[in-house]
Amino acid sequence: MLPPVPHPPRAPALSLRSPRPLPAPSRARASGCSSPLSARRRASPASQLPAKMAENGDGLGTVPEHERILQEIESTDTACVGPTLRSVYDDQPNAHKKFMEKLDACIRNHDKEIEKMCNFHHQGFVDAITELLKVRTDAEKLKVQVTDTNRRFQDAGKEVIVQTEDIIRCRVQQRNITTVVEKLQLCLPVLEMYSKLKEQMSAKRYYSALKTMEQLENVYFPRVSQYRFCQLMIENLPKLREDIKEISMSDLKDFLESIRKHSDKIGETAMKQAQQQKTFNVVLQKQNNVNFVKNVYVNDRIPEERNEVELKREFEEEDENEEEVLTVQDLVDFSPVYRCLHIYSVLGDEETFENYYRKQRKKQARLVLQPQSNMHETVDGYRRYFTQIVGFFVVEDHILHVTQGLVTRAYTDELWNMALSKIIAVLRAHSGYGFPVNRLFDLLFEIRDQYNETLLKKWAGVFRDIFEEDNYSPIPIVNEEEYKVVISKFPFQDPDLEKQSFPKKFPMSQSVPHIYIQVKEFIYASLKFSESLHRSSTEIDDMLRKSTNLLLTRTLSSCLLNLIRKPHIGLTELVQIIINTTHLEQACKYLEDFITNITNISQETVHTARLYGLSTFKDARHAAEGEIYTKLNQKIDEFVQLADYDWTMSEPDGRASGYLMDLINFLRSIFQVFTHLPGKVAQTACMSACQHLSTSLMQMLLDSELKQISMGAVQQFNLDVIQCELFASSEPVPGFQGDTLQLAFIDLRQLLDLFMVWDWSTYLADYGQPASKYLRVNPNTALILLEKMKDTSKKNNIFAQFRKNDRDKQKLIETVVKQLRSLVNGMSQHT
């Protein structure tokens, strides 16, 4: 509660004591203070002194002076009041006393005014105190209410505080539980993978165990490396790897011991199978010879292969009735080798395993090649000796083809050479020889080579006739019979074409099946001479493949290149030639199979030569592609030569030139034909055409014979370039990324934009900067074109010197020309 406020006493009248007598003033004047005699006058309340002060004066002359001094004292700063007071002593005698009287009178007057003012405001102060006394009761009530409210809030908040503390405690527990769950979820996969590793080790799945170790080290352990159990697991993995290596090496030793014991059995089985296959091949070869005599190719007819299929089926039926012959996989379990190889590969120690395996097999080879003392006494001794050798190499051949790098072709050749030298030494020690016939065979081989050259010359004429008769358009078929006829001549497979309804078309032209037939006929003709030499199947196979390679790489390739370079072969024919070579290239594998079926020599044999048809047709295709680019550019040049620009025109026609629209329509039709080409070829041709067109248009602008170019001609030229850009953006050939094709016209576009906008300040300021708007505009090109426009401007504006705008434009052109020349000169000096 506020204490009672007493009634304030009435303010007493203020009074000023008489000042102490001032000392005699010094003659020196304080620096910086105004003189008491200065003319400066300031308005102050003392200037309105009552008339009574004048009555107390003794002389009329003194009173105004005293009033002036009082005014100075009241209006002057405290620091400068000294000089004013000194003036009192400088006046006439008794001036000090009179001045003090005037000062007392002034003080009394001020006291009266202060008293009046206090009396005036006293009643308001009393009223304010009264109001405060009235409010004191309400303030006490409010204080009680606030205190009560605060108490009730405190009581209600105690329960809230307790519940809040419980919530905080629960939240902390929940966060801890979540953290524990997250850590457990992070650790559980590691523990599960390690448990899986233990199970794989127990089940002897060592390769899978090594893969699991890799996953643990690379994926799982880094997540929980801070835990102790993870460190224990990491320390245990190297020991597990060593255990796996020891176990796999032990299995390999058991495998080597097993194949050493079963070498003779393996060799005997392989020799039986070889004898059966040889019998089949002899019968099949005879049947093929009969078919060859009966079915010489006439009018694109091919020998029927049905007899061959039926003959194979008969032999298969006979084999089913015979006793089942075990294979090398049935006699030997090769899984220890595969497993050990995989394990050492995963461990990064594959070289150690390969060296150990080869070293051990070489030791076994020496033991196998060492003949028994009584081997030459019986046939069984020779048989056992050779079956062991055959069995050894059958195993090595199997390892060579089913593993990568464990046994190489060089290694097997080394073993084979060692075996041959040992076998020859053994046979020489126990056998005799007859008369040599090597020179006779050399003569026969020379005759064979001459015969092949004669065949190559004959088939060169056959290929030329085929190319001359071809119409270079896809083969149309209207029914199933025609479709089967084509398929019987050429091995074409296309599920999408088979699903189409008739009529339909094969993508290649008539020359493709004809060439394929003639290549097979050449193989038969070459075989007819080679089989009379009574050579082995391997040698006959080698002869056929070499002669076929000569036919493809020399004869057919030469005919194709001559065809491609003929003047009458157009773009459509070149496209069809590329398609034809693609299908002929795909048919080469069927020719290899055809030779394999004749000679029964597998293509996997190391000494088997490959057909070079892939490179032959690829080279022909590249030549055709280059010819397409050349002819397409020539056609573009023919259209560009039809251009007839009016280089002095004042205004453009408002539409693109006719020759350019005809050229674009021609390119659209050509590129539709290119849809049958490989995507890269079509894209390259389209890009080459656009670049050549851009270069031709640029050369047209920069032609030295063109002396003048008006702005209207530039605008007309810009309309043509816009049509070129629209053509490029329409994606005439699919597969381009973004605006790649439009970049072919970027040089023209930036040059024309520079002249259309007349933005020379930007070009000159940004020249040489990577982010320049006109980066592709060469200063020399811009200078040549600008000088041509400059000459036109001079001749067309005879009265230009009388018009200020024309004079300014001419000066601007001359200034830009000078700057461009300086850039060109700087570039030449730098070069």
Residue-range domain boundaries for the chain: 87-181, 228-292+325-435, 439-473+509-626, 645-794
Asked if the model's pLDDT at residue 47 lies above 50, the reply is no
Report the pLDDT value the prediction gives residue 605, as an integer from 0 to 100: 61
pLDDT interval class at 323 (50, 70, 90)? very low
Report the pLDDT value the prediction gives residue 155, as an integer from 0 to 100: 87
Q: What are phi and psi of 736, to 5 degrees?
A: -80, 145
CATH number of 645-794: 1.20.58.670
d(CA 827, CA 831): 6
* % of the chain with per-residue pLDDT over 90: 16
Alpha helices, DSSP H only, in 225-305? 228-261, 263-294
For 710, the token pair is 């008006």
d(CA 571, CA 636): 13
What's 439-473+509-626's CATH class? mainly alpha
pLDDT interval class at 50 (50, 70, 90)? very low
192-206, 377-391, 467-481, 505-519: least confidently modelled range = 377-391
Is pTM beyond 0.85? Reply is no
Handedness of CA 495, 498, 504, 506 (dihedral sign): positive
Residue with tokens 């400066």, as numbered in its chain: 40
Q: E strands within 403-508? A: 475-477, 504-506
Highest average pLDDT, of 93-97, 522-526, 679-683, comes from 522-526
Nearest partner of 284 among 682, 639, 600, 752, judged by Cα: 600
pLDDT digits (tens, 9 = 90+) for 655-696: 999 999 999 999 999 888 887 777 688 888 899 999 999 999
Domains 439-473+509-626 and 645-794 share a fold: no
pLDDT interval class at 28 (50, 70, 90)? very low
Report the pLDDT value the prediction gives residue 667, as an integer from 0 to 100: 92
The upper half-sphere exposure of residue 477, i.e. CA atoms within 13 Å in the direction of its Cβ, equals: 22
Report the pLDDT value the prediction gives residue 521, as an integer from 0 to 100: 92
Report the pLDDT value the prediction gives residue 640, as an integer from 0 to 100: 93
Give whole-number Cα distances, 322 to 2, 317, 325, 329, in Å: 132, 9, 9, 20
For 615, the token pair is 């490179």
Report the pLDDT value the prediction gives residue 62, as an integer from 0 to 100: 56
Nearest partner of 508 among 592, 590, 578, judged by Cα: 578
Report the pLDDT value the prediction gives residue 251, as an integer from 0 to 100: 84
- Long-range (24+ apart) CB contacts under 8 A made by 133-138 are 133/4, 133/5, 136/1, 136/2
pLDDT interval class at 748 (50, 70, 90)? very high
Mean pLDDT on 143-157? 90
Q: What are phi and psi of 239, to 5 degrees?
A: -65, -40
What is the chain's length? Answer: 831
pLDDT digits (tens, 9 = 90+) for 685-740: 899 999 999 999 999 999 989 889 999 999 999 999 999 999 999 989 888 888 88
Tally Cβ neighbours within 10 Å of residue 506.
Answer: 22
Helices 779-796, 746-757: inter-axial angle, 10-degree rounding:
40
Asked if the model's pLDDT at residue 78 lies above 90, the reply is no
Tally Cβ neighbours within 10 Å of residue 328.
Answer: 20
Report the pLDDT value the prediction gives residue 517, as an integer from 0 to 100: 93
Report the pLDDT value the prediction gives residue 572, as an integer from 0 to 100: 87
Report the pLDDT value the prediction gives residue 147, as an integer from 0 to 100: 93
Asked if the model's pLDDT at residue 57 lies above 60, the reply is no
pLDDT interval class at 417 (50, 70, 90)? confident
d(CA 645, CA 717): 8
Mean pLDDT on 60-69? 67
Are 709 and 789 within 8 A, CB to CB?
A: yes
Mean pLDDT on 65-87? 74
39-48, 70-79, 509-518, 600-609: least confidently modelled range = 39-48
pLDDT digits (tens, 9 = 90+) for 219-266: 888 888 888 888 888 888 889 888 888 888 888 888 888 888 778 888
Task: Round the average pLDDT of the chain to a whole number and report it.
Answer: 78
Rg for the chain (alpha carbons), in Å? 58
Asked if the model's pLDDT at residue 547 lies above 80, the reply is yes
d(CA 418, CA 370): 12
Report the pLDDT value the prediction gives residue 92, as an integer from 0 to 100: 64
Nearest partner of 671 among 684, 686, 660, judged by Cα: 686
pLDDT digits (tens, 9 = 90+) for 184-218: 888 898 899 889 989 988 888 888 888 888 888 88
Are 292 and 268 within 8 A, CB to CB?
A: no
pLDDT interval class at 292 (50, 70, 90)? very low
* Cis check: omega of the bond before 491, within 30 degrees of 0: no
Report the pLDDT value the prediction gives residue 314, as an integer from 0 to 100: 47
Please report, in angstroms and rounded to a whole number, the separation of the first and last CA atoms in the chain. 102
Burial 774-800 (b: 16+ CB within 10 A, else e): beebebebbbbbbbbbbebbeeeeeee
Tally Cβ neighbours within 10 Å of residue 425.
Answer: 11
Tally Cβ neighbours within 10 Å of residue 153.
Answer: 9
* % of the chain with per-residue pLDDT over 70: 78
Nearest partner of 213 among 186, 232, 241, judged by Cα: 241
Residue with tokens 């094709």, as numbered in its chain: 741
